[in-house]
Structure 1
Amino acid sequence: MLRFIKTLLLCAALNTAPSMAEWHYAERAIMGTQVRLQLWHEDSAEAEHLIEAVMAEFRRLDNQLSPYKENSELSLVNRQAGQGNVNISDELTRLIDKSLWFSQITNGAFDISYATLGKHYDFRNKKRAHGDLTDSLLEALNYRHLKLNRKSNSLRFSHSQTKIDLGGIAKGYAVDRAIAILEQAEICCASVSAGGDARMLGDKRGQPWLVGIRHPREKSKNAAVIPLRDIAISTSGDYERYFIDEQQERVHHIFNPSTGKPSETTEGDTDKLISVSIIGPHGFDTDPLSTSVFVLGKEKGLALINRLPQFEAVVIDSNRHLFFSRGLENL
């Protein structure tokens, strides 16, 4: 609360100062999505410098964490960790450690080893892993195969065919890193988003940021609009990357680790979710939580969020009905 009051006072001071302060905007294609940034600054040159610093940080993380870049640290791990210990950076250790923590508290609903089978899906070309391949690799898809040594910063996979992908946590982490850059520069008001992950620094010049949650079946509409200040929000939905197969089933990118297949979003099943938005202090947490709740389903997913202080959820079930976690129900 003190931090929020301080932010408001700083913004008020900027409002009364005789300057050319204005909003500065930027958008770049990085990490397989659109990275968007807006910030309030009185110096255009300094604002541009900060924009480039933020985008450079996104590119750095993409170069380190992309499973599609042959020279990334993640690709190196996937090539070698199945044969023995691989030395990894402090940053990758932290990301994997956090991922494993979410695997534990969600009983495996969040599992970065989903890539073991996920890598065999090609959403652009409407290709999925065949049943025989899924059956043969399912044993390798298990976060317990990840043997992380936090002291020595090393990692090995106890199954030779295990692979990992940080797509369920890396963008939330990147958004936090971007906000840290802006905080260090004493920016009062900013918003950074990367795909379904966003974080707001302060408010929008005395007003809350109005964040729309996209309608999962009507692209041009919002299912809800939420006023937010100084907080993160992450959304996972079956409409982000998907294709419709020959049986007219939706094949999307959010995998259920227990089956090795995309989570079912069968119409009419009121526990199945098609959109999950998590609100909380940091994208490093809201990003994996949105995936976790999606996989867990409405009942178990909302129960998880209701047990976690500082987090709230907005979910949409397969019947397109909206539900809220306990802290949002009476707002």
Structure 2
Amino acid sequence: MSMSSLSSVGRRAAGAVRMPAAAWVQGGWMRREEAIMGTSISVELWSEDPSAGNAAMDLVIGEMHRIDRGMSPHKPDSELSRINREASVRPVPLSEEMFALLARSLEFSRRSEGAFDITFAGAGRLYDYRERIRPTDAALAQACAAVGHQYLELDAAARSVRFARDGLRIDLGGFAKGHAVDNAAAILARRGIRHAFISAGGDSRVIGDRRGRPWTIGVRDPRRPGEIIALLPLEDAAVSTSGDYERYFDTPDGARCHHILDPRTGKSPDSVRSVTIIAPDGLTSEALSKCLFVMGVERGLRFVESHAGVDAVVVDAAGALHYSSGLLAAGAQPRQ
């Protein structure tokens, strides 16, 4: 992972956050975008040969669809849905890919002492952000009794999973998107693509640079749509952003119910507005973005800095910026 100088800004156009929506070809740059996995999936790359570039983008989009078919909690025939239906009754045989993802998720759960936990879904399913519905304390307490990575039992010999608690459910969420951008980056590398940007909602991978200058990723202002508060010039890195502005509703008492939940309480953490993680791979960046969001600024930054090659930008509940020590050494300045 490589980073050039980092800039902190007050008001900038949002164009640095997301590339234009239309497909185009200009001097070897090619781009495609589709709605997959419940979000906008885009790939931009440089190719001297337009046919080779299009073929590479076809493979990336095809891979995103494949992962969505297997890991969507909303598709009844997905492998994930089958696990949720059957694993409380019997061990469920898994594909190699799914077993590896569940095993990796458990590693992050154990290391973070439960701040990251894909079994949060047992509580998460009680929220409806469009209808502004949140569960009662009694319903949430009952759901949280079936939340906990310790109830997710993997059998390596049989390559299976079993739920040790009735009512347990899993949702890979952004973890699947981090996996998807990692796979897409590997596909492009095998096709000889050396300059590319892949995005799946809040999860991105950059390959190489933008032919002589770094890719620039913007950290959006959590409370001012269309504005950004920091610019991250990157090469060969994964980036994940988790924010309380993605799926949420504000309650009459001023609290914000958003989709990032503390697995231990089933409620939305309120000490952070957004977290952006820069890491060598998408699974790490995605998992650590959730860990830091749940842990809070001080504990979360210490946890992030215990991982080699990982950095973070955090916007706390007051709107103040915080950077990991690696970014501060690169020249980042917290906003006053």
Shift of 1:223: 1.2
Contact 2:256/2:268, CA 8 A, preserved across alignment: no
Distance 1:168 1:130 in 2: 26
Shift of 1:65: 0.4
TM-score, length-normalised on structure 2?
Answer: 0.89
**Are 1:214 and 2:220 an aligned pair?**
yes
**Are 1:87 and 2:93 an aligned pair?**
yes
User: 1:273 maps to which residue?
Assistant: 272
Match of 1:202 among 173, 197, 208: 208
SS at match of 1:256: coil
User: 1:316 maps to which residue?
Assistant: 315
Aligned residue runs from structure 1 range 123-272, under 5 A: 123-263=129-269, 265=270, 272=271
Shift of 1:248: 3.3
Provide Cα deviations, 1:231-255, integer angstroms capped at 9, x if missing partner: 1111101011111223332110001
User: 2:14 maps to which residue?
Assistant: none
Identical positions, percent: 42
Give structure 2 stretches of 5+ with no counterpart.
4-25, 331-336
Distance 1:324 1:69 in 2: 38
Contact 2:312/2:323, CA 8 A, preserved across alignment: yes
Match of 2:114 among 99, 102, 108: 108
Give structure 1 stretches of 5+ with no counterpart.
5-19, 266-271
SS at match of 1:163: coil
**Are 1:295 and 2:301 an aligned pair?**
no
SS at match of 1:102: helix
SS at match of 1:218: coil
Contact 1:198/1:232, CA 8 A, preserved across alignment: yes
TM-score, length-normalised on structure 1?
Answer: 0.90
Shift of 1:150: 2.0
Distance 1:39 1:129 in 2: 44
Structure 1 counterpart of 2:42, one-letter code:
R
Point out which structure has higher relative CO (alpha carbons under 8 A, 6+ apart): 2
Shift of 1:151: 2.5
Structure 2 counterpart of 1:307, one-letter code:
S
Shift of 1:153: 1.0
Structure 2 counterpart of 1:295, one-letter code:
V
CA RMSD of aligned residues (A): 1.5
Distance 1:91 1:57 in 2: 13
User: 1:9 maps to which residue?
Assistant: none
Structure 2 counterpart of 1:72, one-letter code:
S
Shift of 1:21: 5.0
Structure 1 counterpart of 2:45, one-letter code:
L
Q: How many residues align?
A: 308
